[in-house]
Structures are given as C-alpha cells and as structure tokens.
Amino acid sequence: MRFSLLSLLRESLRGHRGWPAQWRDASPKPAYDVVIVGAGGHGLATAYYLAAECGLRNIAVVEKGWLGGGNTARNTTVIRSNYLWEESEAIYEHSMKLWQDLSHALNYNVMYSPRGVMMLAHTVHDMQVIRRHVHANRLAGIDNELLSPREAQAFCPILNIGRDIRYPVLGAALQRRGGTARHDAVAWGYARAASALGVDIIQNCPVTGLRRQQDGAIAGVETARGFIAAPKIGVVAAGHSSVLMAMAGVRMPLESFPLQALVSEPVKSVMPCVVMSNTIHAYMSQSDKGELVIGAGTDAYPSYSQAGGLHIASDTLEAVCELFPTLRRLRMMRSWGGIVDVTPDRSPIIGRTPVPGLFVNCGWGTGGFKATPGSGHVFAHTIAKGEPHPIAAPFTLDRFRTGRLIDEAAAAAVAH
Amino acid sequence: MLLIPCPFCAMDRPEAEFRHAGEAHLTRPPDPAAADDAAWADFLYHRANPRGVIAERWRHVHGCGRFINVLRDTVSDRILASYRPGEKRP
C-alpha cells in the first residue's frame, strides 16, 4: 500500500487498523541470482537498488537476527559529507544527494533533517585540520564553512565558549546540509521498497558457511535454514565481516571494536543542530522525542561484546557537561554498544574479493550510517556489473597491497 | 574496564594503566627486500580479528613500561592468560 494523503485520511477514519505488514517475512528458496548477507541499512539498500535500478528481481537478504537490529539500530544517525579526500567526498556526497530525495523515492518518511553538523576545534592543531578540511571541501564544491566561537554559539546557543574550560572552543566547521535521519525508518523504508519489488528478506537465518565450487568461485551460503545457492554473494555484515570472510578463506584488513552511544531522558528542544568534537570525544544531537543522543568512543581493544567500557562513556559525558553546562543535571536513560569494523585507513572497502562471485561492503568503521544510500547504490551496481562502480573503484580491498590508501583518520569523527 | 594480570609486576592492574598494542605474534618479513607487496600487506594490515580467543599485546605504560602478551575471549572480554614476550602462547 502506498502512503498518500488519501490513504492516511482513510486509515485515520478506520482507527489505523487497515495497515498491512510493511514487508514480507520470507522463507528461503533453494537458489537466487544474488544473496546479500546482512539486513542492516547498507544490505537492504543494496538489495533495493539491485531490484530498482539493475533489473534483478531474484534476490534474497539473509539476516542472522532481525531486520535493522545491528548497527543500524545502534548509531547516532549523523549525516554529513565533509570528508578530506576526493574519493571520500565523491561517495559521501553521492550519499548526501540520495538522502535529500530518499523519503520520496521510497515512499516512506525517513525523517531526513538537514539541521547542520558543527565540528568543534579545541587546539591549534584542530584549527589547522578543520581549515584544511573546509578548503578541500569547498574546492570539491561541498559546503563547509569556518565559524568563530561566537558564530558557533549563535548556531548552537547552549554551547559553552568560555575560555576557562580545559579545552576551550577555538572555532568550528559547519556543514549546513548535514543533519540526521531516523535510523529505523531507513531500514524499514528500504525493506518495504525492496520487498515490494520481490526481494526476499529472510530473518533469523545466520550464515554458517560460504560454499565454493571446485574452480574456487562462490557456490552459495550455508545457513541455519539450509543451503542457498547463488552465483553472486554480497557480504554486508559490518562488525562481523572478518568472521564471514574467513569462511571463504579471505583475510581482511579489519579490526572490530565496540562503539557506544547513549540517550538522555527527553527534554524540550534545546539542541538545534548536531555538534561533534573529535578532540574531547563528544558528539550530540536531539531526537524528535527530545532525547539527547550522545556518541561515545570506541574501546581500546577489539571485541565482539556489544557492550564497551563504562569509562569510555563517562569520559564522553564529562566532555558533554563541560561543553553544555546546562545539561549537567540530565539523567541518561540507556546506553548500548555496536561492533564496528575499522580499516587501517578509516575508509570503507567496497567491491570484489579474490573469490569470484563474492563481493564485500565493509569497513565503514564508526561512521557508516551517513553513507547508507550511497553505499547501497554503488555496491548494487558493482555486484550487478561484476566490476566496480566508478565511485566505489578507489575503495578496493586491493588498495592495502598497492598502497593507494585513502587516509580519513582526521575526518572520522571518532578518534581511534 | 578490564583487569589485566601483568606477568612482570605479578599483579592484576586496571586497563587504564595499559595501552593496547595490537595483535600479538606478527612477524615482520625476515628478508624485507625479498618480500612482495602481498606479504607486506599481510604483515601491515591483515588481521585475524577472531570472534573468540585472541592473542594481543598490551604495554604497561603506567606501570613497569613493558610489553606483555594476553589471551582474551573477544566475546566475553574474559582474560584467559598473560605471558611475557618471547614465551610460547599457552
């Protein structure tokens, strides 16, 4: 059923009892043209664009848990495209353009809100880095502007720009088109649109092995619900990418870390934008419900625990209290951890692998949500054609052998 | 926060005293000039990243200052053993 003013009116008169399920919870068929492993935002977006733009219909998305229950449900929903290098600017900006029309394209409100993302500088070195980023972005035609502390406070009135704190605000970079979107709605919107195009979304179906043919090419996936044959498989498994790729005998340049976030009790609107600070590790925005959504750092060691140390979260809260003193008495309601797969150059890996027919989209590290539409779009084209989409081409797995790294350590907002 | 047994100090010390130093038992190519790009990529970038027991190095920066090896389960974060560099993995 399409969402329209008419359908909303009709359902509101009927007490909203007529809405059907938004997607089919499918059972696996014996064979598909493409199997995507992982029903998070990136995996569902890949399936959607494969069906909508690449002319493929016989597609399955297999998920070990439930749809959008991993990092898609565990992130802080920040969207921006102000990365340093041309390759990154191209892919994040591609994503940004898709965000702008996504609700319309999916006929599902993903609550994209371009409210502005402001990155703070606290040291002379920070100032040099954000100046360099602003200039690089403007040369690439991406909006990013330098603000003085006063201008930063005018944009976010609760920001403390006093000189008497440990790390005073010296300036900021602002991307006005940056903002947030509703993470669950992104997963649901893509699932609904993909399901309507015939994609099978198979939940509670953990992959236990990747079967290869005698010539080495991929044959299909072994799952807890039986073997599924497919000539092409796309692994989009975030923190568990190493584990899955090891099933096909491929060693990855990845380490998985717990990354934490927390939300406060809901309060009236106090925070008109997203504020991030890399140096003292705090970033924050306010959800439509009024909760302050706070991103903390990664733990120091690789782990699959989906928890993370309390000292990491409390460091972030100390920084938040200093930057936003008006929030000092606020109580935190929930905290959680997601497992993020981090590459040595902090840039993703999208494309082919040494195994014919096996494709991988991983390594988004601490900032994959913003890339969901663009990542899915270029990965779908890469799988359909069997060769990298031009925007995905620099992000090969092979770059760690050739040395053509894309070093975004400074642009990734989470210090590692 | 982990409680890490330091084999030099012979004490359990909090994680905050240590700095993580990556996967243990990685060997630099013995003849660097003869190693090809794939061998270098393996040494520099490719990691086991296991869901299970990992052998990793920590440096006791705010203690004895020495590197140690630790076996840890990456699912439960439980530490199974710690031993000195050069010793065999238990």
| Model pLDDT for residues A323-353, shown as the tens digit of each residue | 999 999 999 999 999 999 999 999 999 999 9
Count residue pairs from A and B with Cβ separation < 8 A. 66
Same domain? For A96 and A204 the reply is yes
Q: What's the pLDDT at A412?
A: 63
**How far A274 CA sits from the closest chain B CA (Å)?**
29
Distance (Å, rounded) from C-alpha A181 to C-alpha B87?
A: 51
Tell me the pLDDT tens digit for each residue of A128-182. 999 999 999 999 999 999 999 999 999 999 999 999 999 999 999 999 999 999 9
Out of A294, A317, A342, a domain closes at A342
Residues A58 and A55: their CA atoms lie apart, in Å, by 10
Residues of chain A with Cβ-Cβ distance to B47 below 8 Å are 242, 251-255
- What is the structure's pLDDT at A389? 97
**Structure tokens belonging to residue A399:** 């770059």
Mean residue pLDDT of chain A comes to 95
Residue ranges covered by each domain of chain B: 3-26+38-83
**Token pair for A385:** 């054609």
Rounded-to-integer distance, Cα A384 and Cα A379, Å: 9
Residues A65 and A209 grouped into a single domain: yes
ipTM of the complex: 0.96
Which chain B residue has the Cα nearest residue A402? B37
Q: Does A346 touch chain B (CB under 8 A)?
A: no
| pLDDT for residue A414 | 62
Question: Of A377, A324, A381, nearest to A352 (Cα)?
Answer: A381
Given strand A218-223, what is the order of strands in its sheet?
A207-212, A218-223, A226-229
pLDDT digits (tens, 9 = 90+) for A39-80: 999 999 999 999 999 999 999 999 999 999 999 999 999 999
| CB-based burial label for A363 (10 Å; 0-12, 13-18, 19+) | buried
Is the predicted pLDDT of residue B27 greater than 90, yes or no?
A: yes
pLDDT of residue A409: 82
Our count of domains for chain A comes to 2
Kindly state whether residues A152 and A190 are assigned to the same domain.
no
Please indicate, yes or no, whether residues A260 and A329 belong to a single structural domain of this protein: yes
Identify the bridge partners of residue A34 per DSSP, sorted by sequence position.
A59, A232
Structural domain includes residue A2 = no
Select from A247, A260, A304, A306 the residue whose CB has the most chain B CBs within 10 Å, as the one to mutate to test that interface: A304
Residue A121 and residue A225 share a domain: no
Has residue A56 been placed in a domain?
A: yes
Same domain, A34 and A169: no
Which amino acid is residue A278, in one-letter code? N
Whether chain B has a CB inside 8 Å of the CB on A307: the answer is yes
Residues of chain B positioned with their CB less than 8 A from the CB of A239: none
Which residues, at least 6 apart from B11, have a Cβ–Cβ distance to it below 8 Å?
Answer: B5
Nearest to B47 among A255, A300, A403 (CB): A255
Contact status, residue A261 vs residue A296, Cβ threshold 8 Å: yes
Interchain CB distance below 8 Å, A300 and B20: yes
Chain A: residue nearest B72 by CA?
A303
Rounded to a whole number of angstroms, the distance from the CA of B27 to the nearest CA of chain A is 16
Examine residue A310 and state whether it is found in any structural domain, yes or no. Answer: yes
Domain shared by A49 and A145, yes or no: no
Give the model's confidence band at A253: pLDDT under 50 very low, under 70 low, under 90 confident, else very high.
Answer: very high
**Does position A292 have pLDDT exceeding 90, yes or no?**
yes
- Write down the CATH number for the domain with range B3-26+38-83: 3.30.2270.10
- Domain presence at residue A408: no
The answer to the question of residue A6 being in a domain is no
User: Is residue A247 within 8 Å of A280, Cβ to Cβ?
Assistant: no
Instruction: Please say if the pLDDT value at position A416 is more than 80.
Output: no
How far apart are alpha carbons A350 and A354 in whole angstroms? 13
CATH number at residue A233: 3.50.50.60
26-85 of B, contacting A, C-beta below 8 A: 37-38, 40-42, 44-51, 54, 56, 72, 74-77
Output the pLDDT for position A411: 65
Q: Which of A401, A404, A406 is most worth mutating to test chain B (most B CB atoms within 10 A of its CB)?
A: A401
Instruction: Looking at the structure, tell me whether residues A249 and A276 fall in a common domain.
Output: no
Candidates A240, A256, A301: best to mutate against B (most CBs of B within 10 A) is: A301
Same-domain pairing of A261 and A322 = yes
Instruction: Output the domain CATH number for residue A156.
Output: 3.30.9.10
Of residues A303, A310, A403, nearest to B74 (C-beta): A303
Residue A1: the pLDDT is 78
Residue A58 lies in a domain: yes
**Residue A335 structural domain:** 117-178+256-342
Task: Kindly give, in sequence order, each residue whose CB lies less than 8 Å from that of residue A350, ignoring residues fewer than 6 positions away.
Answer: A360, A361, A375, A378, A379, A382, A388, A392, A395, A396
Q: Which pLDDT score is estimated for A415? A: 56
Same domain, A188 and A337: no
- Are residue A188 and residue A93 in the same domain, yes or no? yes
Interface membership of A254 toward B (CB under 8 Å)? yes
User: Is A256's CB within 8 Å of B37's CB?
Assistant: no
- Asked whether residue A5 is domain-assigned, the answer is no
Question: Does residue A356 sit within a domain?
Answer: yes
Closest residue, chain B, to A416 (C-alpha): B20
Do residues A271 and A384 share a domain? no
Residue B66 reports pLDDT greater than 80: yes
Q: Which of A299, A314, A342 is the last residue of a domain?
A: A342
A365 contact residues in B (CB cutoff 8 A) = none
pLDDT grade for A281, boundaries at 50, 70 and 90:
confident
How distant is the Cα of A89 from the closest Cα of chain B, in angstroms?
24
Give the model's pLDDT for residue A306.
Answer: 87
